[in-house]
Amino acid sequence: MPEILVVDDDVDICRMLEKKLQRSGHQPSLANTLADGLIKAEGGAFDVILLDVQMPDGNGLEFIPRFKALQSNPEIIIFTGHGDLDGADKAIKSGAWGYIEKANVIKELDLPLTRALEYREEKRRSKISPVYLKREKIIGHSKKINACFDKLAKAAASEANVLISGETGTGKELFARAIHENSSRFAKNIVTVDCASLPESLIESTLFGHSRGAFTGADRSQDGLVKHADGGTLFLDEVGELPLAMQKAFLRVLQEHKFRPVGSSQEQTSDFRVVAATNRNLEECVKAGTFRSDLFYRLQSLTIHLPPLRERKEDMLELVVHSITRLCARTNVDLKGVSPDFIEALTSYDWPGNVRELFQTLEQVFANGKHTRILFPHHLPEKIRISHAHDALKSADDLPVKERFLPEPTGILPDWRQAKETFEGEYIRKLMVRAQGDIREACSLSGISKARLYQLLGKYEQIPSRPAKWQSN
Applying CB under 6 A, which residues contact ligand ATP? 138-140, 166, 168-174, 279, 355-356, 359
Least spacing, CB of residue 212 vs Mg ion, in Å = 35
Nearer CB in complex with ligand ATP: 37/171 = 171
170 binds, among Mg ion, ligand ATP, none (CB under 5 to 8 A by kind): ligand ATP
Nearer CB in complex with ligand ATP: 51/306 = 306
Nearer CB in complex with ligand ATP: 307/369 = 307
CA 118 to CA 121: how far, in whole Å? Answer: 5
Least spacing, CB of residue 238 vs Mg ion, in Å = 7
Alpha helices by DSSP H, listed for 212-335, are 225-228, 244-256, 282-288, 293-299, 316-331
356 binds, among Mg ion, ligand ATP, none (CB under 5 to 8 A by kind): ligand ATP
Range 339-398, binding Mg ion (CB under 5 A):
none
Burial class (CB in 10 A: 0-12, 13-18, 19+), 100: buried
CA dihedral 160, 163, 164, 165 (to 10 degrees): -160
Q: What is the Cα 414 distance to its own chain's centre?
A: 54
How are beta strands 58-59 and 54-55 bridged, if at all? antiparallel
Contact 295, 254 (CB under 8 A): yes
305 binds, among ligand ATP, Mg ion, none (CB under 5 to 8 A by kind): none
How many residues touch Mg ion under the rule CB under 5 A: the total is 1
Nearer CB in complex with Mg ion: 347/354 = 354
171 binds, among ligand ATP, Mg ion, none (CB under 5 to 8 A by kind): ligand ATP
The single residue among 89, 108, 167, 173 that binds Mg ion, judged by CB under 5 A, is: 173
Q: What is the Cα 290 distance to its own chain's centre?
A: 22
Contact 118, 129 (CB under 8 A): no
CA 277 to CA 165: how far, in whole Å? Answer: 6
Percent helix, strand, coil in the chain, to 5, is: 50, 15, 35
Least spacing, CB of residue 74 vs Mg ion, in Å = 36
Q: What is the Cα 171 distance to its own chain's centre?
A: 6
CA distances (Å), origin 90, targets 53, 94, 96, 103, 170: 11, 6, 9, 19, 31
CA 258 to CA 100: how far, in whole Å? Answer: 20
454 binds, among ligand ATP, Mg ion, none (CB under 5 to 8 A by kind): none
Least spacing, CB of residue 162 vs ligand ATP, in Å = 14
Nearer CB in complex with ligand ATP: 76/275 = 275
Nearer CB in complex with Mg ion: 18/173 = 173
138 binds, among ligand ATP, Mg ion, none (CB under 5 to 8 A by kind): ligand ATP
224 binds, among Mg ion, ligand ATP, none (CB under 5 to 8 A by kind): none
Nearer CB in complex with ligand ATP: 174/218 = 174
140 binds, among Mg ion, ligand ATP, none (CB under 5 to 8 A by kind): ligand ATP
Least spacing, CB of residue 72 vs ligand ATP, in Å = 36
What are the two backbone dihedrals, phi and then psi, of residue 278, each rounded to the nearest 5 degrees?
-155, 145
Least spacing, CB of residue 236 vs ligand ATP, in Å = 12
Residue 91: which of 53, 58, 41 has the closest Cα? 53
Least spacing, CB of residue 325 vs Mg ion, in Å = 24
Nearer CB in complex with ligand ATP: 10/173 = 173
Biggest CA–CA distance in the chain, Å, is: 103
CA 230 to CA 305: how far, in whole Å? Answer: 27
Nearer CB in complex with ligand ATP: 61/362 = 362
359 binds, among Mg ion, ligand ATP, none (CB under 5 to 8 A by kind): ligand ATP
* The residue type at 66: R
Least spacing, CB of residue 237 vs Mg ion, in Å = 5
CA 450 to CA 440: how far, in whole Å? Answer: 8
98 binds, among ligand ATP, Mg ion, none (CB under 5 to 8 A by kind): none
CA 20 to CA 24: how far, in whole Å? Answer: 7
Least spacing, CB of residue 140 vs ligand ATP, in Å = 5
Contact 233, 272 (CB under 8 A): yes
Q: What is the Cα 157 distance to its own chain's centre?
A: 17
Least spacing, CB of residue 172 vs Mg ion, in Å = 5
Residues at the site binding Mg ion, with contacts judged by CB under 5 A: 173
